[in-house]
Homo-oligomer: A and B are copies of this chain.
Amino acid sequence: MGKPIITLTTDFGTKDGYAGAVKGVIKRINPDAEVVDISHEIESFDILGAAFTLNNFYRYFPRGTIHLVVVDPGVGSERQPLLIKSENFHFVGPDNGVFSLIFQNETITHMVVLSNKKYFLAEISGTFHARDIFAPVAAYVSRGVGVNEFGRAAKECSKLTVPEPRLSKGKLRGEIIHIDGFGNMVTNVAAESLRGKKVVGITVGRKRIRRLSRSYSEIKEGEIGALMGSSDLLEIALNQGSAQEAIKSKAGSAVTIAFE
């Protein structure tokens, strides 16, 4: 058994020291916790972006890892602070949709609204619950405090709806849901929805792509291609370049897959 791990995913940037304060609070409460930065560069207030990021990494961590996710435009409002426990992980953050995508794969065993001030900092600001509530709670979880100690059970939590692709007349109509840092355009078309089907064309904007590639480098240089990305979602990509810059599509743009 290694030390307990707490991962951090925020939109704080690093230059104001806000993420630093979060780390300090954790280490003061549990010096044995290992803090792992995932990102402090989520777009400001981009809740769905945080949900996607979380979904791309959380399952690779050891069992028991505590994932702290704070993109929190509603800090200080009536939005609730949450602790979610699944069979494999803990999740701590605001109840605003940042955890929307974990429910597809995780079996949730507990969901608690954080209210026990014994596990908060002594003074709670109206602007920085990551430091005053979420970090101390994550640290106490890492020390083994039981989930039900932190507050009452939550009945439900906020979930953002991610659009589903629609199938009709030999075509699957999906859309771009995320542009990654390389400019790859990730769609909502899952690998399994194409299983057993023969793809004869992919259309995005005015661009028509003939076939699925297996890797970025299988796409001819300078051409737009399509392939199953690392999260098993269809991606529109450019070999050694940014597909997004090349074809200017955005999140929300339609992508159509034609079958034989």
Q: Which residues of A contact B (CB under 8 A)?
A: 1-3, 5, 7, 9, 11-21, 23-25, 27-28, 31-32, 35-45, 49, 52-62, 65, 73-77, 79, 125-128, 131, 178, 180-182, 213-218, 227-230, 235, 239-240, 242
The answer to whether A217 and B77 have CB atoms under 8 Å apart is yes
* Other-chain contact of A21, B17, B31, B40, B60 (Cβ < 8 Å): B60
The answer to whether B27 and A5 have CB atoms under 8 Å apart is yes
For residue A27, which residues in chain B have a CB less than 8 angstroms away from its CB? 2, 5, 36, 61-62, 65
Question: Bound complex: CA of A228 vs CA of B13, how far in Å?
Answer: 20
For residue A15, which residues in chain B have a CB less than 8 angstroms away from its CB? 39, 41-43, 49, 53, 181
The answer to whether B17 and A57 have CB atoms under 8 Å apart is yes
* Other-chain contact of A60, B16, B24, B40, B56 (Cβ < 8 Å): B24
Give min CB distance, A45 to chain B, whole Å. Answer: 5
Residue of B nearest to A13 (CB): B181
Question: Bound complex: CA of A31 vs CA of B13, how far in Å?
Answer: 27
For residue A36, which residues in chain B have a CB less than 8 angstroms away from its CB? 20, 23, 27, 35
The answer to whether A215 and B126 have CB atoms under 8 Å apart is yes
The answer to whether A53 and B17 have CB atoms under 8 Å apart is yes
* Other-chain contact of A125, B12, B37, B230 (Cβ < 8 Å): B230
The answer to whether B61 and A127 have CB atoms under 8 Å apart is no
